């Protein structure tokens, strides 16, 4: 005998699992970097072309039922209160979401102290992630404003892609994307503190400033060969003087035939090699690692978020 189905009178419970959001956090290189002088606030006035590349950290965001920021990382990055992720999360919380909390887990792949902007990118990804996790509906401009308080180049990473950055690096002007350039990024296991490089540069600021010509008529058709003619980094020779070990690696990579251009990214210590294609990139990266020159990453210039 078939009995009619009856509705379960017990109330349905909500899924107890926390809401989790995972975002990638890209590294950057500097296609161009010129120092225009020293500012009254002690920082340096910059003109730089920043570019996101396909080398990523990963951040996981989970809601917490209390207004507390819990931070975890697979590497020891020092005291949490000094970490840019924690500072960025606290800035969002204080300004827009005092009653919200989150657990943030950072999985590092971008080397620290390498001129690749890993910490700044993680801070920007944090404000983007919490905006989504907490349904704050903040605009890009609002996110940039919040993260500017954390670091000079953090605002760039809110959008990513290709941008002309001025001031201390916090004034961001998006530009036509320079995408698909094949790269090898060599991290020679050297931590090169940015203040040390700028302090050395400040000993002599009497030099002729280089003009940036990245965004003329050919901006939308730049390939590896054209990019090579435009790359410039004022900090390159300074970084090589500050670190004899980096200078040694620079000398040992001088005669790579497949390389269209090599340069120091930002204040170092990573070296960037522009190559014709992905096959050449993989071969070059393998060669660097076999010669124990450091950790080599195959990457491309990519769009932002």
CA 80-20-52 angle, 5° bins: 70
SS3 of residue 199 by DSSP: helix
CB 60 within 8 A of CB 104: yes
Does residue 99 have an active-site annotation? no
Q: Indicate whether 230 pLDDT > 70.
A: yes
β-sheet bridge partners, residue 71: 104
Q: Point out the catalytic residue in the list 5, 15, 24, 28.
A: 28
pLDDT at position 10 over 70: no
- What pLDDT is attached to residue 278? 96
Is residue 1's pLDDT more than 60? Answer: no
In this prediction, residues 267-293 reach a mean pLDDT of 96
The verdict on pTM exceeding 0.85 is: yes
Cα within 13 Å of Cα(215), Cβ side? 14
pLDDT of 269 above 90 = yes
Cα 27 to Cα 6: distance, rounded to the nearest angstrom: 57
Give dist(CA 24, CA 111) in Å, integer.
Answer: 15
Please identify which residue in the block is written with the tokens 């943030």: 104
Please name the helix (run of DSSP H) or strand (run of DSSP E) that holds residue 88, with its range, or none: helix 84-96
pLDDT of residue 266: 94
Q: What are the structural domains of the chain?
A: 20-174 (3.30.230.10), 182-300 (3.30.70.890)
Give the tens place of pLDDT for each residue, 180-211. Answer: 999 999 999 999 988 999 999 999 888 999 99
Contact 18/63 with Cβ under 8 angstroms?
yes
The average pLDDT across 278-302 equals 97
Query: 138 with 93: CB under 8 angstroms?
Result: no
pLDDT tens digits along 237-250: 999 999 999 999 99
Whole-number Å distance between alpha carbons of 291 and 243: 20
Kindly report the number of other CB atoms within 10 A of residue 34's CB atom.
18
Catalytic residue among 76, 94, 99, 153: 153
Spatial distance between the Cα atoms of 143 and 117, rounded to a whole number of angstroms: 18
CA nearest to 133, candidates 155, 101, 163 = 101
1-10, 12-21, 40-49, 142-151: segment of lowest average pLDDT: 1-10
**Separation of CA 21 from chain center:** 19
pLDDT digits (tens, 9 = 90+) for 87-130: 999 999 999 999 999 999 999 999 988 999 999 999 999 999 99
Tell me the three state secondary structure of residue 78.
Answer: coil
- Who contacts 67 (Cβ-Cβ below 8 Å, separation ≥6)? 93, 98, 99, 100, 101
pLDDT at 4 over 50: no
State the Cα–Cα distance between residues 118 and 84, nearest whole angstrom.
10
The region of weakest confidence among 97-101, 174-178, 214-218, 281-285 is 214-218
Residue 8 pLDDT greater than 70, yes or no:
no
Local structure of 30: helix, strand or coil: strand
More confident residue, 236 or 9: 236
Is the per-residue pLDDT at 3 higher than 60? no
Q: Are 168 and 91 in contact (CB under 8 A)?
A: no
pLDDT of residue 2: 44
Which residues 6+ apart lie within 8 Å of 66 measured at CB? 101
Does 248 qualify as catalytic in the annotation? Answer: no
Question: If you average pLDDT over every residue of the chain, what do you get?
Answer: 90
On the 0-12 / 13-18 / 19+ scale of CB atoms within 10 A, 59 is: buried
DSSP assignment of 101-140 = EEEEEEE--SPTTSSS-HHHHHHHHHHHHHHHHTT----H
pLDDT for 218 equals: 58
d(CA 18, CA 102): 10
Residue 174 has pLDDT above 90, yes or no: yes
């Amino acid at each position: 005998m078939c009995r009619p189905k009856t509705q379960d009178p017990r109330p349905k419970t909500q899924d107890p699992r926390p809401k989790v959001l995972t975002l990638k956090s890209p590294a950057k290189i500097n296609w161009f970097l010129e120092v225009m002088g020293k500012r009254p606030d002690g920082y340096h006035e910059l003109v730089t072309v920043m570019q996101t590349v396909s080398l990523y950290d990963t951040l996981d965001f989970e809601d917490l039922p209390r207004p507390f920021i819990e931070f975890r990382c697979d590497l020891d990055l020092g005291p949490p209160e000094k970490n840019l992720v924690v500072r960025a999360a606290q800035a969002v919380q204080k300004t827009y979401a005092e009653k919200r909390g989150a657990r943030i887990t950072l999985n590092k792949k971008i080397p620290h102290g390498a001129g690749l902007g890993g910490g700044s990118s993680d801070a920007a990804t944090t404000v983007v992630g919490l905006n989504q996790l907490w349904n704050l509906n903040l605009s890009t401009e609002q996110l940039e404003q919040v993260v500017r308080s954390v670091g000079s180049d953090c605002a760039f990473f809110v959008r990513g892609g290709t941008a002309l950055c001025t001031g201390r690096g916090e004034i961001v002007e998006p530009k036509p994307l320079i995408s698909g350039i094949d790269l090898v990024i060599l991290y020679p296991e050297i931590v090169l503190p940015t203040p040390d490089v700028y302090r050395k540069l400040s000993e002599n600021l009497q030099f002729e400033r280089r003009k940036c010509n990245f965004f003329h008529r050919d901006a939308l058709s730049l390939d590896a060969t054209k990019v090579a003619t435009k790359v410039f980094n004022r900090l390159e020779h300074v970084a090589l003087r500050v670190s004899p070990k980096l200078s040694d690696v620079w000398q040992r990579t001088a005669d790579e035939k497949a390389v269209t251009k090599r340069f120091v990214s930002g204040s170092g210590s990573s070296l960037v090699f522009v190559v014709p294609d992905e096959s050449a990139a993989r071969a070059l990266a393998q060669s660097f690692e076999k010669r124990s020159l450091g950790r080599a990453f195959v990457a491309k210039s990519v769009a932002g978020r």
